[in-house]
Amino acid sequence: MPTQPKRRNTPQRQIILEKLCGTQSHPTASELYDIVKIQLPRISLGTVYRNLEVLANNGQIAKLDLAGGEARFDGTVSPHCHIRCTDCGIVRDLPAMNPREPDLTIGQTNGFLVSGFRMEYTGICANCQ
């Protein structure tokens, strides 16, 4: 198997991780770009995307590939459900909700090897009501 490359802990990567873990919101890549740019004005959007991918592969952050186009990112890795506003798109945690365990046998009828499952609530957030 291919050994993974030795990663460096660049300021860009550090600050991206720090800002993502320091927020309750689940920012998109470009929202995060705007936040990080305050401290690193010369950072590029491409770097944000590249680092988010590295961090997600590392298991340090979670990529939320929910409905509605843009991917969002979550500094909290432990599994929990989300609720998404169908109007403005913001995503919040549902901490009280513990997701049902995936039923790994469910894919057998289709020949699938089940690896996971996702649950997502949708609704209208307080702001948009």
Name the site residues for DNA (rule: CB under 7 A). Answer: 5-8, 10, 12-13, 28-30, 40, 42-47, 49-51, 53-54, 69-71
The verdict on 24 binding a copy of itself (CB under 8 A) reads no
What three-state secondary structure class fits 28?
Answer: strand
Taking CA atoms, 123 is separated from 11, 72, 74, 86, 115, in Å, by 37, 17, 19, 6, 27
Q: How far is the CB of 87 from a copy of itself (least distance, A)?
A: 10
Give Cα separations from 115 to 52, 78, 97, 101, 102 (angstroms): 22, 16, 21, 11, 8
The 29-58 contact track toward a copy of itself, x by CB under 8 A, reads ------------------------------
Are residues 70 and 28 in contact, defined by beta-carbon separation less than 8 angstroms? yes
Residues from 72 through 101 that contact a copy of itself (CB under 8 A): 83, 85-86, 92, 94, 96-97, 100
Residue 88 binding result from a copy of itself, DNA, none, given CB thresholds of 5 to 8 Å by partner type: none
Options 66, 72, 73, 75; binder of a copy of itself; rule CB under 8 A: 66
The yes or no reply on residue 110 touching a copy of itself (CB under 8 A) is: yes
SS3 labels along 66-101 = CCCCCCEEECCCCCCEEEEECCCCCEEEECCCCCCC
CB of 116 to DNA, least distance (A): 19
Give yes or no for a contact between 102 and 117, defined as CB atoms under 8 angstroms apart: yes
Of the pair 68, 107, the CB lying nearest DNA is at 68
